[in-house]
Amino acid sequence: MATFNLRRFSKPEMLRRIDRKHLIAFLEPHAAYFSARGVELPPVQQEDGLDYNALSHLLLTPDSTTPDDLAEALFYVNEVSTPEGFDSIQDEIAGTDIDVEIGENAAPADLAIQVWMADREIIEKVHAEQFFMNVRSFEYFKTKKNPLPDFLLPSQETLAALESDLDEWFSKKRRGKYSKVFVYPKEGHTWFLVRHGKPYAREAVIEAGESTSQYFRPEKFDVLAYNPVIGEIRMNAETKGEKELYRKKFGFHLFGDEEFFNERSRFDLEPLRQIGEDALLCDDVDGIEHVRLKEVQVFWGGAHKDVEIRRSEDLFASLRDREKSLPAGGKIVKASFQIKFDGSKTPRSVTLSSGNRAQFKRDGDAEVIERWLGLRGFIVGAGGTSDE
């Protein structure tokens, strides 16, 4: 799990903003733990008797006796008790009995606590979805199947079978066996978030004035997105083994074939040399104001594997002013762009490698960027200039 940092429980006045009866009901299953540490939880129906100062201090000083399920509940509620989390939770419960039962005056932490007690998986899903915006690097894989088979959202049975296969691999690789796959259909793609454990970690801590160790299994989120129009899946994962696992198992459980995604997608940077500044045109892509080339890397090879780097605030403008051009020889292996999006105050960077890797400043930009890349010929097989 991520660091135990409870911003919402940092001050007594923050706790007072949570409906008292819901807060006590949330904590009551661990009344014995609170009592042992000097905090007595009053009955839910009692109007006073809750020491907010003592409770806040206790929650901010967990120790080896803190129940794991209490720490987990506090972590998730804290993480989603934000304006964005508040709206996401409401979207998830809209039209359900849970929505009807919760009053209209619920504050963010109030809402999170009540929904956690009713169905913790909703809170876990909302928390997981927050990771989409943090992903910055993807590798792309595609299928050679033609025509493309129809894609259907996986059933709960399919997801359970997928999780079982993932668990087997993670367990063998000493990462634990409790993976969870979340599915999010959005913007023409289907997104998959895989939550799983990492290898055990050790951290030195001080308890009762003595140095000791705590062992725990960190939590990891991997992100995949399937594009049903071109039969391509992109993924963000930490290791080569995890990427190969996802390539095979998602192919098998979504399409019945472990080798469905059997080809690496590829970016081609030659349009920068072949059509020059026109490769940055973006008038035909909604959502982008302008694109500038910031850097190119040219691989010359040879005995010393030479790489030439050209970098500028606006590389094409600089070349124009000096009546120069990009090198005629060598292979362009990497390019960095600065893209100004509609409604954004500052441009954001995008880096492409001539293989199958792309790095975005924010993954929410991916669909717009991929549309532009395809139209300008940077994606092989989607109007690219070469298919070697």
Q: Which residues neighbour 363 within 8 Å (Cβ) at sequence distance 6 or greater? A: 132, 133, 134, 135, 136, 138, 223, 236
Residue with tokens 């928390």: 127
Which uninterrupted H or E stretch holds 125? helix 120-129
Say what the pTM is.
0.66
* Residue tagged 């934000």 (tokens): 82
The two three-digit tokens of residue 112, written as one number? 């999170």
8 Å CB contact between 141 and 235: yes
For residue 259, the model assigns a pLDDT of 96
Domain-wise residue ranges, the chain? 12-132, 137-264, 270-376
How high is the pLDDT of residue 385? 37
CA angle 330, 312, 294 (to 5 degrees): 70
Beta bridge mates, 350: 337, 360
Structure tokens that stand for 197 in this block = 């454990």
Helices (H), the chain: 12-16, 20-27, 31-36, 52-59, 68-80, 83-93, 97-101, 108-118, 120-129, 156-172, 240-255, 271-274, 315-321, 366-376
Three-state DSSP at 54 gives helix
- The amino acid occupying position 10 is S
Can you give the pLDDT of all 388 residues of the chain as single tens digits? 444 455 556 567 778 878 888 899 999 999 999 999 999 999 888 777 888 888 888 887 777 788 888 888 888 888 888 888 899 899 999 989 999 888 888 888 889 999 999 999 999 888 877 766 555 688 899 999 999 999 999 999 999 999 999 999 999 998 988 899 999 888 788 999 998 988 877 777 666 677 766 666 778 889 899 999 889 999 989 899 999 999 999 999 999 999 999 988 788 999 999 999 999 999 999 999 999 999 999 999 999 999 999 999 999 999 999 999 999 999 999 999 999 999 888 898 899 988 788 887 666 677 788 889 989 999 886 543 333 3
| Cα 381 to Cα 374: distance, rounded to the nearest angstrom | 9
Eight-state DSSP code of residue 66: S
Q: What is the pLDDT of residue 213?
A: 66
* Phi, psi at 382, each rounded to 5°: -125, 45
Q: Copy the structure tokens of residue 187.
A: 């913007």
Axis crossing angle, helix 83-93 with helix 68-80, rounded to the nearest 10: 100
Contact status, residue 76 vs residue 116, Cβ threshold 8 Å = yes
Pairing of strands 357-360, 137-142: antiparallel
**What is the C-alpha to C-alpha distance for residues 241 and 172, in angstroms, rounded to an integer?**
12
CB atoms within 10 A of CB 341: 19
* Cβ within 8 Å of residue 211, ≥6 positions away: 204, 205
CA distances to 53, 103, 106, 387 from 13, in Å: 9, 21, 16, 62
Single-letter amino acid, residue 30: H
Separation of alpha carbons 69 and 277, rounded Å: 57
User: 250: Cβ–Cβ under 8 A, 6 or more apart, which residues?
Assistant: 162, 192, 224, 226, 233, 261
Instruction: Report the distance separating Cα 38 and Cα 19, nearest Å.
Output: 22
258 Cα distance to chain centroid? 24
Closest among 373, 380, 295 to 335, alpha carbons compared: 295
Which residues contact residue 221 at a Cβ distance below 8 angstroms, ignoring those fewer than 6 apart? 128, 131, 193, 194, 195
